[in-house]
Structure 1
Amino acid sequence: MGRDSDLGRVVITGLGAVSCLGLGSDIQFQKASLCNSGITSFSNSFSIPVNLSCAGLVPADITNYFDSSTLGMYDRVAHISWVAAKEALEHSGLKDLGVEKLNRSGIFWGTGFGGANTVENAYDTIYIHGKDRVRPFTVIGVMANGATALISLNTAFKGPSITYSTACASSAHAIGEAYRSIKHGYCDRAIAGGAESLLTAASIKSWEALKTLAIPDSENIAHSCKPFSKNRSGFVLGEGAAAIILESLSSAKKRGAIILAEIIGYGATSDSLHITKPDPLGQSKAMQLAIKDAGLSAEKVVYINAHGTATQAGDIAETISIKNTFGLDQAKKLAISSTKAVHGHTLGAAGALELLITIQAMQNNIAPGTAFLEINDPECDLNYLPLRSIEIPIPYAMSNSFAFGGSNVSLLLARDVN
């Protein structure tokens, strides 16, 4: 991109993730680029009946990452958070930081529902099993910053430790605010991302009531999430976590780190219109702010990892917002896809997981396709890469996260750092 100074520039040096696609950051892109779904049948039993046929469940056993005390004290959302953060740290090569560097190292983490499993266990203990006390460390499991605290304890990072909860935009906000913190000199490096694990009876019943969940595909349940397709019926709940190591460019250069990409733009807005109905204007403003922050011509953006939840209203709103941002001619030229078709909607983890896949797309010059988009919707008439990925140079890419409550985030990346 060519800048006169390293000052204020923020790069990415490590990735870590776990989702229904598997354990590790590499498998996320491998499966996404092949349009291979990790969504499976859901048959977990609860103390009350639920109506959920499919979900994106983490298939790996992660218990060997923790001692019995940590397993018992923290919620599953914290456990998968640390699995992702640990991989990202190892990938980045960050280790043996002295006190001064630890003081300049932050944690910015997102989650929509926090310790949902612990909350449910507590209510089951009291109301189903009739006991008069819950586990001693229930508060630690419940608190939304439990994951952030576990990461801090395991890394000794002593800079800002902040938890963001803005529904589906939580981890995108966390990454954007980490970027700003480094850009403006408040810290030199950060673990940023988010996690969600909310496949509990109460949560599932809540989503049932909202009527936004996908109708299971009768031929192949793995194909139930169909973003931008005419026959889309809603999203599939998924659990997962993704972590990204952000550093100042000077810090990364000084230690000879491998730089994966640069964050060059961040836009955040609020619709202030409706609690669940998306507003194309608010979404467009977030994208415009990210482009302005980057000082980039909109025509240079090649790929967008869309929010693309597969809801009727959401996919149409995003289509309109992209047209509003780029203009119709440029919007038609963009490669756009939603990877939620294969990993489900991971809510508080979605922004981080999808940004991670976008970074890998840039590195591999492959824009992942939108799986199961077999029937074109005339109202979603952009190039959503139906059914297959394409090989294309991606020097600049955007990732969108739009949430209930009207929170919108766009993050803009550059592949080459010079």
Structure 2
Amino acid sequence: MSEAARRRVAVTGLGVVNPFGGDLLDFFARLMRGESAVRLYHHPASPSPLAQPAVSCPHFDAEAVLGRPLAGVCDRYSQLGVAAAFSAWEDAGLPRQNGGSDEYGVSWGTGVGGTLTFERGYADFYVHGKDRAHPLSIVLAMSNAAASHVAINLGLGSSCLTYSVACASSAVSIGEAMRRIQAGESELVVAGGSEAPLSFSVMRAWEAMRVVGQGDEETAYRACRPFQVGRTGLVLGEGAAALVLEDWEHAQARGARIYCELAGYGQSCDHTHLVKPDAYGQTRAMRLALREAGLDASEVGYVNAHGTATREGDPTEIEALRQIFGAHAENLLVSATKSMHGHLLGATGAMEALITVLALARGEVPPTAHLDEVSPDCQGVRHVMGKGLRGVPLKAALSNSFAFGGSNAVLAFKALS
């Protein structure tokens, strides 16, 4: 696509379902204070005892937010996703579409989809001895259910696409939504992701990989410490985030409030290992995002890092940042907000993109919580530690998402000039 033909993409709405239970700005304020939502999570339906540091959304009441009929036909991951999409839609100042719009679409990401429905089905058969599955099991569990519910309830007829690319899923969904708008295939897309991975099987599976952060009742809140000396791993989290992306001229014509511009998207494959990250693959994704955005690396002031607090993942990402940003890396603000909201697997890219948009729009950069001694293999950038930074004049920011399977996705945002 020629530069002349490519349409600009505005971010006009943000919606989130977060573990603190407050609204969008309350969520961001808590992140700025370095508050952690990580707790020792005791699985309520474990066939054997299971307690693991994790992040849940205990304040979310699906029936109160969505109404009983809609909540009843949704797996929890869909409930979270629809709630975030509705919130973003309202934040964008959009009316509910009565007859629907063939110019508006949905682009969604999830890594494990309706895993709670699957697990409930196994329990019904093998634990409780039932001889019949729940009649809605398929439509509850399918990975495109969340996107479909958003499209149906908001009347979005342009497209309804779901991406499952492990931990890059919702970053890819946002990038691909941008592509549709740039090409003139949609005027507006609700893009994001949702995940509800706190099932016994998923939690045990991640624990078996020995990459889950450690902690007891007193220390669980700091179990995820990206870039820290002695870090022990990630923590799983549930939640959802959504962005309303819009053709720039369309947004201006309806008088929409514009947070910033989604200006670049880079996607690459490491093609080296199923789970081991690769700096070269990550640099290619960042380079592509910067090139499309028309940005020099020195113009980027903040990177919301993928930063999972794993022994191999963190230093690989820092090495990639040093390669891309060169001498500017020493001044580059970097933080990993997973330390506070957890790793939402397929939804984490959307959550971190939303945080990056707010950082850019407000000139405020959240910290990496619990980071007080940077590991020797994670040095070379300006880590934001303890509390967030305010009054930061940012021109551009990146949000990094790097997934198992070697898939990398980077989103580049530009501040309003």
TM over 0.5: yes
CA distance in 2, matches of 1:28, 1:166: 26
User: C-alpha separation between the residues in 1 aligned to 2:23 and 2:43?
Assistant: 24
- Equivalence for 1:89: 89
SS at match of 2:190: strand
Q: Secondary structure at the match of 2:29?
A: helix
Q: Which residue of the partner structure matches residue 235 of structure 2?
A: 236
| Equivalent in 354, 361, 364 of residue 362 of structure 2 | 364
Say which SS state the counterpart of residue 17 (structure 1) adopts: strand
Equivalence map 1:11-410=2 (5 Å): 11-60=10-59, 61-95=61-95, 97=97, 102-216=101-215, 219-327=218-326, 329-381=327-379, 382-391=381-390, 392-410=392-410
Judged with a 3 Å threshold, the aligned counterparts in structure 2 of structure 1 residues 217 and 307 are, in CA distance, closer, same or farther, namely: farther
Is 5-14 or 69-78 further displaced after alignment? 5-14
Aligned residue-pair number: 412
The answer to which of 379-388 and 242-251 deviates more is 379-388
Contact 2:270–2:281 at 8 Å: present in 1 too?
yes
Task: Indicate how the Cα distance of structure 1 residues 378 and 213 shifts in structure 2: closer, same or farther if over 3 A, else same.
Answer: same
Structure 1, unmatched stretches of 5+, are none
Change (3 A) 1:167 1:84: same
Give the partner amino acid of 2:335. S
Q: Deviations 1:225-256 (Å, cap 9, x if unpaired)?
A: 10100121000110000000000001000000
In the alignment, the residues of structure 2 paired with residue 312 and residue 218 of structure 1 have an alpha-carbon distance, to the nearest angstrom, of 23
Counterparts of 1:359 and 1:154, CA distance in 2 = 26
- Partners in 1 of 2:207 and 2:377 — Cα distance? 26
Cα distance in 1 between the residues matched to 2:102 and 2:284: 35
SS in 1 for 2:240: strand
Q: Deviations over 1:261-318 (max 9, x none)?
A: 1011100001111111000100010000000111111110000000000001000100
Residue 210 of structure 1 deviates from its aligned partner by 1.0
AA at the equivalent of 2:304: N
Using the alignment, how far apart are the partners of 1:10 and 1:67 within structure 2?
A: 33
Q: 1:93 to 1:6 in 2, by over 3 A?
A: farther
For 2:377, what is the secondary structure of its paired residue? Answer: coil
**Aligned mates of 1:300, 1:338 — CA distance in 2:** 20
In structure 1, the residue corresponding to 2:51 is in which secondary structure?
coil
CA contact (8 A) 2:224 2:235 kept: yes
| Overall identity of the aligned pairs, in % | 39
8 Å contact 1:40–1:221 — kept in the other structure?
Answer: yes
**2: distance between equivalents of 1:272 and 1:126?**
40
SS of the residue 2:376 aligns to: coil
Q: Secondary structure at 2:17's aligned position in 1?
A: strand
Question: Aligned letter for 2:393?
Answer: P
Instruction: State the match for 1:9 in structure 2.
Output: 8
CA-CA distance at 1:170 after TM superposition: 0.5
* Secondary structure class of the residue paired with 1:36: coil
CA displacement at 1:345 relative to structure 2: 0.5
Report if aligned partners of 2:97, 2:155 keep a CA contact under 8 Å in 1. Answer: no
- Distance of 1:130 and 1:407 partners within structure 2: 41
Deviates more, 1:283-292 or 1:88-97: 88-97
1:43 is displaced (CA, Å) by 1.5
Native 8 Å contact 2:303 2:335 kept in 1: yes
- The CA deviation at 1:394 is 1.2
TM-score (norm 2): 0.96
Whether contact under 8 Å (1:51, 1:208) holds in the other structure is no
Residue identity opposite 1:93 in structure 2: G
Assess if the C-alpha contact under 8 Å between 1:50 and 1:204 holds in 2.
no
Residue 89 of structure 1 aligns to which amino acid in structure 2?
W
The amino acid of 2:202's aligned partner reads S
In structure 2, C-alpha distance between the alignment counterparts of 1:375 and 1:195, rounded to whole Å: 32
Shift of 1:96: 5.1
